[in-house]
Amino acid sequence: MPKPTDAVVPAPASPAPALTDDLSFLLARANAISLAAGNAALAVHGLKARSYSVLVLTTGDARPSQREIAEFLRLDPSQVVSLVDDLQSRGLVERRTDPADRRANVVVATDAGRRLASVARGSARAAEEQVPRQLTPDQRQTLAALLRVLAFPET
């Protein structure tokens, strides 16, 4: 397991710089693990990471439109259509045409949706705490803060 001791300047002839120093690779692998654990934990509730995310977004005060959901989740708007279709058909969310802009659908969780989100959050959290077991709470918060910078870059 390599240590974070490498310099910033690239060294041309050094022994092959491993993938394990590559932030992109580490993100991909960590995400794959986390995603698998999350999906497994949410399956009991008939949810996946995606649908869970949408559901959670609709339980807040933000009242996001589908376009906003798509942007936030980095999905194509058409994918949000399917996700909301599914949640709506299960009575977990509703589409309300935004009075301020009647093109837009505001998606809002129903009571059942809120209840499910609340239960599912427990499962998700449990799964999430399995994965970074090796991290202290402090380290986990640091990680979250740093990831937040990557996930939501300014500008």
Partner DNA sequence: GGAATTCCATTGAAATTGTCAATCATTTAT
Partner DNA sequence: ATAAATGATTGACAATTTCAATGGAATTCC
Binding-site ranges for DNA (CB under 7 A):
48, 50, 65-67, 70, 75-81, 84-85, 95, 101-105
Distance CA 77, CA 50 (A): 13
Nearer to a second copy, 103 or 111 (CB): 111
Crossing angle of helices 49-59/77-89, nearest 10°?
80
What is the three-class DSSP state of 33? helix
Of 31 and 130, nearer to DNA (C-beta) is 31
Q: Which does 96 bind (CB under 5 to 8 A by kind): a second copy, DNA, none?
A: none
We find the least distance from the C-beta atom of residue 34 to DNA, in angstroms, to be 13
* 8 A C-beta contact, residue 84 and residue 68: no
In the list DNA, a second copy, none, the entry touching 91 (Cβ below 5 to 8 angstroms by class) is none
Among 59, 65, 66, 105, binds a second copy (CB under 8 A): 59
35 near a second copy, rule: CB under 8 A: yes
Which residues, 6+ apart, have CB-to-CB distance to 60 below 8 Å? none
